[in-house]
Amino acid sequence: MRFLILVLTAFLAIFTPAVASDYRAGQSVTVSMGDTLPDDLYAGARSVYIDGIVIGDVYAGAQNVRISKDGRVGDDVLAGCEEVQVYGPVGGNVIGFAGRIFIESEVMGDVLAYGGEVYLGKNALVHGNIYVGAGKIEIDGARIMGDLTGGAGRASLNGMVEGKVDLGLGTVSFGENYLAKGGTKLVLQEETTIDEIEYAPADLELSFAEKSYFFTSMFFIWGVVSLLITGILFVAVFKETARDMISFAQNNIFKASGMGFVFLIVIPVAVVILVVLIFTIPVALIGGTLYLILFYLAHIVSALILGDLMLRQIDSGFRNGRLFIPLIVGIIFVVFLPEIPYIGWLIDIAFVSLGLGTFILYGWQNLKPVKAA
Q: How far apart are CA 41 and CA 55, in angstroms?
A: 9
pTM, two decimals, is 0.68
pLDDT at 338 over 70: yes
Query: Given pLDDT bands bounded at 50, 70 and 90, which one contains residue 17?
Result: very low
Q: What is residue 164's predicted lDDT score, i.e. its pLDDT? A: 94
Mean pLDDT of the chain: 84
The per-residue pLDDT for range 257-273, each reduced to its tens digit, is 888 888 887 788 788 77
Q: What is residue 10's predicted lDDT score, i.e. its pLDDT? A: 46
Residue count (the chain): 373
- Tell me the mean pLDDT in the region 312-329: 75
- Tell me the mean pLDDT in the region 102-114: 94
- Tell me the mean pLDDT in the region 158-184: 92
pLDDT at 247 over 70: yes
Query: Given pLDDT bands bounded at 50, 70 and 90, which one contains residue 213?
Result: low
- Tell me the mean pLDDT in the region 222-227: 86
Q: What is residue 372's predicted lDDT score, i.e. its pLDDT? A: 42
Q: What is residue 103's predicted lDDT score, i.e. its pLDDT? A: 96
- Tell me the mean pLDDT in the region 66-94: 93
Q: How far apart are CA 43 and CA 50, in angstroms?
A: 11
CB-count burial class (<10 Å; 0-12, 13-18, 19+) for 247: middle
For a pLDDT cut of 90, what percent of the chain falls above it? 35
Lowest mean pLDDT among 25-39, 44-58, 109-123, 343-357: 343-357
Per DSSP (E only), the strands in 223-281 are none
Q: What is residue 7's predicted lDDT score, i.e. its pLDDT? A: 46
Q: What is residue 185's predicted lDDT score, i.e. its pLDDT? A: 93
Q: What is residue 263's predicted lDDT score, i.e. its pLDDT? A: 83
**Four-point Cα dihedral 365, 367, 372, 373, nearest 10:** 130
CB within 8 Å of 89: residues ≥ 6 apart? 72, 73, 105, 106, 107, 108
Using DSSP, state whether 127 is helix, strand or coil. Answer: coil
The per-residue pLDDT for range 289-309, each reduced to its tens digit, is 888 998 999 999 999 998 888
Angle 86-89-93 from CA coordinates, rounded to 5°: 80
Angle 340-167-135 from CA coordinates, rounded to 5°: 35
The larger pLDDT score, comparing residue 124 to residue 189, is at 124
pLDDT at 144 over 70: yes
The per-residue pLDDT for range 126-135, each reduced to its tens digit, is 999 999 988 8
Q: What is residue 194's predicted lDDT score, i.e. its pLDDT? A: 79
Q: What is residue 365's predicted lDDT score, i.e. its pLDDT? A: 77
Cα 272 to Cα 43, 95, 296, 298, 342: the distances in Å are: 21, 20, 20, 22, 29
Which residue ranges make up each domain of the chain?
21-208, 214-372
- Tell me the mean pLDDT in the region 266-281: 80
Cα 111 to Cα 130, 147, 219, 342, 352: the distances in Å are: 5, 10, 31, 16, 23
Q: What is residue 208's predicted lDDT score, i.e. its pLDDT? A: 83
Query: Given pLDDT bands bounded at 50, 70 and 90, which one contains residue 20?
Result: very low
Q: For the beta carbon of residue 152, count every other beta carbon within 10 angstroms.
A: 25
pLDDT at 277 over 80: no
